[in-house]
Chain A
Amino acid sequence: MKIIVAIKQVPARDSQLKIQSGAQWIEEDDLTFEINEPDAYALEEALQLKEKHGGEVVALCLGPARAASTIREALAKGADRAIHISEESINGLDTLAVAKLLAGAIKSEAPDLVLTGLQSDDLGYGQAGVVLAELLGVPHATIIMQVSIEGGTLRVKRELEDGWFQFVTMPLPAVLTIQSGINKLRYATLMGIKKAKTKEIKVLSAADAGGAGTAVSTLDRVYVPLRTKVSTIFEGDAKSTAAQLVEKLKFEVRVL
């Protein structure tokens, strides 16, 4: 069974973010980068499926040269080889362009299963996996909490809202977008880290992956959420101010 895991490199959690002049993206010079968290769970799921069913895990990453460190981490954790679509200006790409490039790299590999995180920690659109499935012409399921494969059929557990789950049976090949926490992440062993150096990383240009095409949506402006703090002082006796507070909590803040 061949599994491709699409991973993205994003700024480390808890980074102090500064907006670039021009407000088109964040300053990247002083940031450290790491694997997008849901993608780390997707990679772990792929490695566990390989341990159960055999086959191969290929890490696929669209990103600038610095993303190589995240790719090598995936190899250190146990991916067999990697494909790096090297593109310096990924922040100018819209979801469709990202999905087109990923699909372009995936098609010739003809995988049985494609896994990716349900969304990226930086942009958070949550669409790349879904659009990718459409471009590949295969079914998809999102927000996956559990994966099992029996006789060429996939059975997955999807997380819905309010503690509800949905079980879906679907054919292979397919694309799944994985929810964080689906499994327990492994450490990269020191032996794995050393071995990663000997594993293949195929580097493709955007053109090699079929090109990104023209963007259909553009990023207009990046900004820090504006503070719109307004204080309200309730007038009246205790009973009426309590009633006003409860109304606010119920209908405005919606915590009751």
Chain B
Amino acid sequence: MAFKGVDYLLIDSQFSEQELMVRQTARQFIDDKVMPRIKQAWNEGQGFQDLAREMGALGFLGANLEGYGCAGMSNVEYGLLMQEIERGDSGLRSFVSVQGALVMYPIMTYGSDAQKEKWLPKLASGEAIGCFGLTEPDFGSNPAGMKTRAVLDGSDWVLNGEKTWITNGSLADVAVVWARTPDGIRGFLVERGTPGYSTSDIHGKLSMRASVTSSLAFSDCRVSQENMLPNGKGLKAPLGCLTQARFGIGWGVIGAAMDCYETARQYTILRKQFDDKPIASHQLVQEKLAVMITEITKAQLLALHCGRLKDEGKLDAAHVSMLKRNNVAMALDCARLSRDLLGGNGIMDDYPIMRHLCNLETVKTYEGTDHIHTLVIGERVTGIAAYK
């Protein structure tokens, strides 16, 4: 059934006609191409990489970037796109987020003209897939401690180290890899098939099953100097990418929350117990629905305000921490409340709720854990960095 949207507070009146048209394209695409097969994809642990070219043709990949075949959307339009995609599945949204915010964005922002010309048109069209290698087995929340090293040997850089929890890792034609050099942390473009570069998929995930997650290994992996991103130096370069991706997550999870809420709302109206009355007629059920719609609405307003600030160039990383932390926690709460309202059916794969719930557990942790974002907000209001 076609999704009609969730809009308690007439928030649609705040969107332009063009913004609503972008959302409509994304909504239709997800209803047509993702909803019919998400259950099977999840159960079989299959990603949606076969949709890459179609999503590229529609302008979904790197949508808020300008030039090189990108759609040049505003950040609010990009946010609405993420919302609709994650209404489908967080794994698909991760695929699109990584491609746009963590691969195309750093090449666009830190790359040379030759790197941009080589990769951006192919990544925008979905002909090439990318991944982003920052996290390591021993360094998650503290990437400053990374062990992966790059050493200059003649005209080549030689990389050694390991990256893990890499979305799209084994699918990627190009990996944006961050490594310590004598000159500080730098980004490198490592192409699939480069000797010394290998990937292996992480199996046994009970979350993000419709998404490929891998480890990347570099063993005396040689790349030429032209493969180093020339214009990004230090940890702030990869963190700048993550701020882009987290902005998309802050919008995306609203979609997952909407899918849970709308499923629960419809279910409780149809499901009858005690004297043939819908369970939605009970106060404890209505309370959960009221909490959910209120929290979704607040999250929508937070995301919209952040989107407008970003379009004005005023959104900073600490703002995005609030957006990501609040909205992910909100979505996870909605998934849990919805699961409760569906009773036993809440755990079944005929309904989207348990899938969203499991996915959102990942979203709570990746791209800056809930804890770290809490401490970023704490640092902003106290001036004291508690995580150092």
Contacts and interface: CB of A to CB of B under 8 A. Distances in A.
B21 A193 contact: yes
Interface string A183-210: 0000111110110110000000000000
Interface stretch (B54-62, B137-145, B164-172, B341-349): B54-62
| B: interface residue count bin | 10 to 19
Contacts, number: 43
B71 interface: yes
Contacts of B60: 190
A190 B28 CA distance: 13
B21 A76 contact: yes
Contacts of B63: 190
A72 B63 CA distance: 20
A159 interface: no
Contacts of A76: 21
Contact of A189 (B4, B17, B24, B59): B59
Given A194-B71, A194-B72, A194-B73, A187 B21 contact: no
B58 A187 contact: yes
Interface in A69-104: 69, 72-73, 76
Nearest to A73: B21
Interface string B18-29: 100110110011
A189 B26 CA distance: 9
A190 B71 CA distance: 6
Question: Most chain-A CB neighbours within 10 Å: which of B21, B22, B60, B63?
Answer: B21
A193 B24 CA distance: 11
Contacts of A14: 4
A59 B28 CA distance: 22
B383 to A, nearest CB: 41
A197 B77 CA distance: 15
A195 to B, nearest CB: 10
Contacts of A69: 17, 21
B185 to A, nearest CB: 33
Interface in A42-88: 69, 72-73, 76
A105 to B, nearest CB: 23
Interface in A216-249: none
A189 B58 contact: yes
Contacts of B58: 187, 189-190
Contact of B25 (A72, A193, A197): A193
A193 B78 CA distance: 13
Contacts of A193: 18, 21-22, 25
A195 B21 CA distance: 13
B77 A190 contact: yes
A196 B18 CA distance: 9
A14 B57 CA distance: 30
Question: Most chain-B CB neighbours within 10 Å: which of A69, A187, A191, A194?
Answer: A187
B21 A72 contact: yes
Contacts of A191: 59, 71-72
A187 B18 contact: no
Contact of B17 (A72, A187, A190): A72
Question: Most chain-B CB neighbours within 10 Å: which of A69, A72, A73, A191?
Answer: A191
Contacts of A194: 18, 71-73
Contacts of B72: 191, 194
Nearest to A188: B25
Nearest to A197: B18
A14 B81 CA distance: 24
A189 B71 CA distance: 9
Question: Most chain-B CB neighbours within 10 Å: which of A14, A191, A193?
Answer: A193
Contacts of A72: 17-18, 21
B25 A189 contact: yes
A197 B81 CA distance: 19
Nearest to A14: B4
A131 B24 CA distance: 34
B57 A189 contact: yes
A194 B4 CA distance: 24
16 contacts: A72-B21, A76-B21, A187-B25, A187-B58, A188-B21, A188-B24, A190-B71, A190-B77, A191-B59, A191-B71, A191-B72, A193-B21, A194-B18, A194-B71, A194-B72, A196-B18
Interface of A: 14, 69, 72-73, 76, 187-191, 193-194, 196-197
10 closest A-B pairs by beta carbon, nearest first, are: A190-B59, A190-B71, A187-B25, A189-B58, A191-B59, A193-B21, A189-B59, A188-B25, A191-B71, A69-B17
